[in-house]
Amino acid sequence: MSLRFEAALAARGFDVSLEAAAGETVAVLGPNGAGKSTLLGILAGLLRPDSGSATLDGDTLFGEGEWMPPHRRRVAMLSQEALLFPHLSSRENVAFGPRSAGRGRAASRAAADRWLDEVEAADLAELRPGRLSGGQAQRVAIARALAAEPRLLLLDEPLAALDLAVAPTIRRMLRRVLERRTALLVTHEPLDALALADRVIVLDHGRVVERGPTAEVLERPQQAFTAELAGLNLLYGTRTVDGLRTEDGHELAASAAEEIAIGTAVAASIRPAAIEVLEAHGPTGSVAGLPATVAELEPRGGTVRLRAGGLFADLAPGRIVALGIGEGSDIRLLPSSAELTVYPRR
C-alpha cells in the first residue's frame, strides 16, 4: 500500500483508519463536521493527532514519537479556491514548488511549462491571477500542485467554486492527470466521485461508516447521508419472499440484486421518481404502501419534490393538484417493486 493511516484526535471526536494503494484515488464523503478537514489537516502535517500512525511509500509521516514536518512529506493540497500568489505570473506560481525543492530557475521554469501544458494552460503562462477566470486559475493551481511532484495529492472540493459550464472540462482534465497518482478527494458531488475515484469512504462524526468501490457505495448505500448524496431513498428492514418488511412492519415488494436468505437484515434503495404518491385511502379502501404525512413540498423546475415519512418523491405539479395535498396532508407512498432494490445490510 502507498498510504496507511490511522489517527485519533479527541478534541474533534476523530478516529479514522484508511488505506490507499499506489496510483489510487479515494473519495472522502461526509456531511459538514464529519471529519474530512481534520483528515486532510493531519495528512498534510497541519494538525497533530493524539495517537496513531501513518506511512506513505514506506516512510513514516507520524507515529511512535516520530513526526515528519510538512515540507518533507511531499504531500500537496488543492482546495476549491486556487490561492495563487497574486504578484507572480502563472509560470512562476507553478515553478514555486520545484524552486522550493532546490531546483534551479531554468529547471523550475521548464517544469512549470510542462505542467501548464499538461493541464492545457500553456497560453496562460505570462498572466497573473488577477487576469484569470475561475476555471483558468484552478488549472494553474492544479499544475502548481503537480509540479511539486507530490507522493500524495489532497483534493479538497476542487470543483466546488467553479461555474457549472466550466466544471465538466476541469473534471475531465483531473481524471487524466490523476491516473497512476495517489490521491484523496474530498467532495459533496457524487459525479466527481464516480468520475475520479476508485473507492469511496464515508465519514460521519469522525468515524468511517461506509467504504468500498465507488459505484457500489453510491448505488447500494448503507447510510442515509450517502443515499441522499446519491439522490436515492433508503429503507431498512428484513428480507421476505417478495421483498422486504420495513422496520415499522410494512410489507413491500422489491427485487434483489443477489440471493438473500429470508429474515436477513437488508437495505433497499429507490429513485424518488419511482415512488408513487397516493391518497391516504383509495376508493376501494386500499392501504397498500407506506402511510406518511407530507412534511415539505419543494418546486424543482418542472417537478415538485415531496418529503414525507423520511422519504422523498418527485412528481408533476399537476399530480399535486389532482391529489389536493399540501404540507400536513396524509398520503401513502408506494415504491415501484421493479425499481426498489434490496441488498444485504452491513
Residues 218 and 239 grouped into a single domain? no
In terms of Cα–Cα distance, which of 91, 128, 126 is closest to 112? 91
Taking a C-beta distance cutoff of 8 angstroms, is the pair 342, 256 a contact? Answer: yes
Give the domain-ending residue among 228, 260, 278.
Answer: 228
184 and 312 assigned to the same domain: no
Q: Is the domain of 269 the same as that of 236? A: yes
At residue 164, the pLDDT reads 82
Domain that holds residue 119: 3-228
Closest CA to 320 of 286, 277, 280, 282: 277
pLDDT tens column, 161-215? 888 888 888 898 899 889 889 999 999 888 999 999 999 999 999 999 999 999 9
Q: What CATH code is carried by the domain that includes residue 23?
A: 3.40.50.300
Same-domain check for residues 198 and 340: no
CA distance linking residue 268 with residue 263, whole number of Å: 14
Q: Pick from 183, 207, 228: which residue ends a domain? A: 228
- The answer on 322 and 261 residing in a single domain is yes
- How confident is the model at residue 119, as a pLDDT? 87
What is the per-residue pLDDT across 74-129, written as a single tens digit (0 to 9) for each? Answer: 999 998 888 999 999 999 999 998 998 888 999 999 999 999 998 889 999 999 99
Query: What does the pLDDT read at residue 337?
Result: 93
> For residue 253, what is the domain's CATH number?
2.40.50.140
Please give the model's pTM, rounded to 2 decimal places.
Answer: 0.87
- Domain end call among 171, 199, 228: 228
Q: What is the mean pLDDT of residues 290-304?
A: 93
User: Do residues 184 and 213 share a domain?
Assistant: yes
First CA to last CA distance, the chain: 25
pLDDT category of residue 283 using cuts at 50, 70 and 90: low
CB atoms closer than 10 angstroms to residue 5: 24
Q: For 48-61, what is each residue's pLDDT tens digit?
A: 999 999 999 999 99
78 and 167 share a domain?
yes
Residues 59 and 107 in one domain: yes
Percent of the chain residues past pLDDT 70, beyond the cut: 98
Count of domains forming the chain = 2
Q: Does 240 lie in the same domain as 92?
A: no
Average predicted confidence (pLDDT) for the chain: 92
Same domain, 169 and 125: yes
Domain co-membership, 193 together with 258: no
* Residue 276, burial from CB neighbour count under 10 angstroms (0-12, 13-18, 19+): middle
200 and 334 together in one domain: no
Strand partners, 3: 20, 56
Given this model, what pLDDT does residue 54 score? 98
Inform me whether the pLDDT recorded for 256 exceeds 60. yes
* Greatest C-alpha distance within the chain: 83
CA distance 227 to 248: 20
